[in-house]
A = this chain, B = another copy of it.
Amino acid sequence: MKIALAQINPTVGDFAGNVEKILAYAEQAAQAGARLVVFPELALCGYPPADLLEKHDFVARARIAAGEVAVWTAEPGRPAVLCGSVLATSAEIGKQVWNAALLIDQGKVQFTQHKMLLPFYDVFDEQRYFEPAKTQLLTELDGQPLAITICEDAWNDKSFWPRQMYPLDPVEELMKQWESLSESAKARPRVILNISASPFWHGKQDVRREMLAALARRHGAYVAMVNQVGGNDSLVFDGTSLAVRPDGRVAAHGASFVEDLVLLDTDADAVAPGRPLESETELTWKALVLGTRDYVRKCGFAKAVLGLSGGIDSALVAAIAVEALGAENVLGIGMPSEYSSLGSIEDARALARNLGIRFELLPIHQVFAQYQQVLDPLFAGTRFGLAEENLQSRIRGGLLMAISNKFGALVLTTGNKSEMSTGYCTLYGDMVGALAVIGDVMKLRVYKLSEFANREREVIPRATIEKPPSAELRPDQKDTDSLPPYDVLDPILEAYVERYWSAERIAEEQGVDLALVRQVLKLVERSEYKRQQAAPVLKVTQKSFGMGRRFPIAVKVQV
């Protein structure tokens, strides 16, 4: 059977737009001779809809949208559509909706499979919304049996994972049913379809490929996973849909970070041509570009503005923004204080020139002086300190927001994950913005991504990459005045923030002084309040700040 895998980029809640997109891809699949075209999980409403699922209207609109797809399939010769959507349950007990896969053919929904395994860890809250499937059944199309699963349903293979998260394995259950099929059906290739909305993080593509190959080999089946593509708030879905043959070799694969349609023919014996492996740095770059583009556009904006300090973080974000939105849509603002070096301003200007973006210089020292004058009745006799440092950062935030309000450009936040982890950032200052583009990128990775940005020509000035990092909020300030060097700091932070290691384990495994480790971990604990008021962070690691990491603020935590 010729099956088209259509990885589309839906917008959450945009039923009209999503249906239009689905029908356009279904049309392409028809032209390519597919009998079935498969779309991602919850493709009709977009993933993740979150608490929109609790609104009756929303669920009703999804039903209408499914009807529109059904109408399209009514015309003879058109392929069947397998598509994810939300469905109201009829049950008197439990949650009110299902996460469903609808097999739509010849004008109506021929078969429905509900999702059985509902993830509820990290960024996933599916048990909050969905009633789990009670049964998992094989269906068929033109005599070809199909095992239809939804995302997590294929992620609980006991022979692949060291620890199972759920007692059930829907794939195993489906494969058992194969035995009781008619002889003619049994003679057909085994086909497992998986509709997914599986967000990107470093290394995830490898996990998916290995897992799907293991599943294919274990069950002697074709496994075809269709994954959503696109950014939705913090999450970036990479697509990278994949069809694996029963021998574990790749039969077809979708592109990463763009919409795509690829064909799997389960009656042919094709192996997909190999493709050059992309480095994790390149994948992360693409994730950040797509996440930025989709956030800005799905929020109804075209333009972005950001502060350019001459430092590497803002330079990298500017480079990402230009690739995401086009140079004509990015505005860079230099906001030097009396502590800014001349070099920094020149570096910012050179960056803007290299990127071809507009650059404006708005010095902040006069506003700062005026603030100090107003505060003098309260501050007289106190020493220059944190209040004054943060104030400079907040003046910059105020200027960026004024420009944003005036010209309708979203502010991009430029802080990295090392800063967000340690609280080395100013709430309402450099943390202002609609989106924290590199808030899930530790400083050492910021360097790698900056080198990637310069892969064809120098975009980020060499001086920006090579000078010692500084916030430039007091004379001769360096990051290393307050923090250990990043090659010591980042591994500590990764272990604590992403893997929840204890101080003792970090000190031992990383060969770092325990007192230093504790000092860093205390910074993390003390800055939780800042992170809870941060802009959405584009997630590119297994554990990023935001919805997937939920810590209380008013606590007494021992580190």
Contact = CB atoms under 8 A, between A and B. Distances in A.
Interface of A: 11-15, 17, 46, 48-52, 54-57, 61, 92-94, 120-121, 125, 127-128, 163-167, 231-233, 294-295, 298-299, 360, 362-364, 366-367, 370-371, 373-375, 377-379, 382, 385-388, 390-391, 394-395, 397-399, 401-403, 405-406, 427-428, 432, 434, 500, 502, 529, 532-536, 547, 549-558
A366 B428 CA distance: 21
Contacts of A556: 11-14, 17, 298
A399 B428 contact: no
A506 to B, nearest CB: 12
A551 B51 contact: yes
Contacts of A14: 555-556
B551 A299 contact: no
Nearest to A163: B92
Nearest to A54: B500
B165 A93 contact: yes
A325 to B, nearest CB: 14
Contact of A552 (B52, B57, B432): B52
4 closest pairs, A vs B, by CB? Answer: A298-B554, A14-B556, A387-B405, A387-B406
A556 B46 CA distance: 10
A553 B386 CA distance: 33
Contacts of A298: 554-556
Given A394-B398, A556-B11, A366 B373 contact: yes
Contacts of A15: 558
A364 B370 CA distance: 9
A51 B550 contact: yes
Nearest to A14: B556
Given A93-B166, A391-B402, 4 more contacts: A14-B556, A125-B128, A363-B374, A394-B397
B558 A13 contact: yes
A391 B298 CA distance: 26
A388 B17 CA distance: 36
Q: For the complex formed by this chain, how many copies does it contain in all?
A: 2
A92 B164 contact: yes
16 contacts: A11-B555, A13-B552, A14-B556, A50-B552, A52-B552, A52-B557, A57-B558, A94-B166, A360-B377, A363-B374, A371-B398, A386-B406, A391-B398, A394-B397, A394-B428, A401-B427
A552 B398 contact: no
Contacts of A406: 378-379, 382, 385-387
A401 B394 contact: yes
Contacts of A555: 11-14, 46, 52, 298
A385 B407 CA distance: 11
B553 A371 contact: no
A432 B502 CA distance: 33
A554 B12 contact: yes
B398 A550 contact: no
User: Which among A49, A50, A382, A555 has the greatest number of chain B C-beta atoms within 10 A?
Assistant: A555
A536 B531 CA distance: 12
A349 to B, nearest CB: 15
A210 B271 CA distance: 66
A551 to B, nearest CB: 5
Nearest to A371: B367
A15 B164 CA distance: 31
Contacts of A390: 401-402, 405
A164 B94 CA distance: 6
A51 B543 CA distance: 12
B434 A529 contact: yes
A360 to B, nearest CB: 6
A92 B555 CA distance: 31
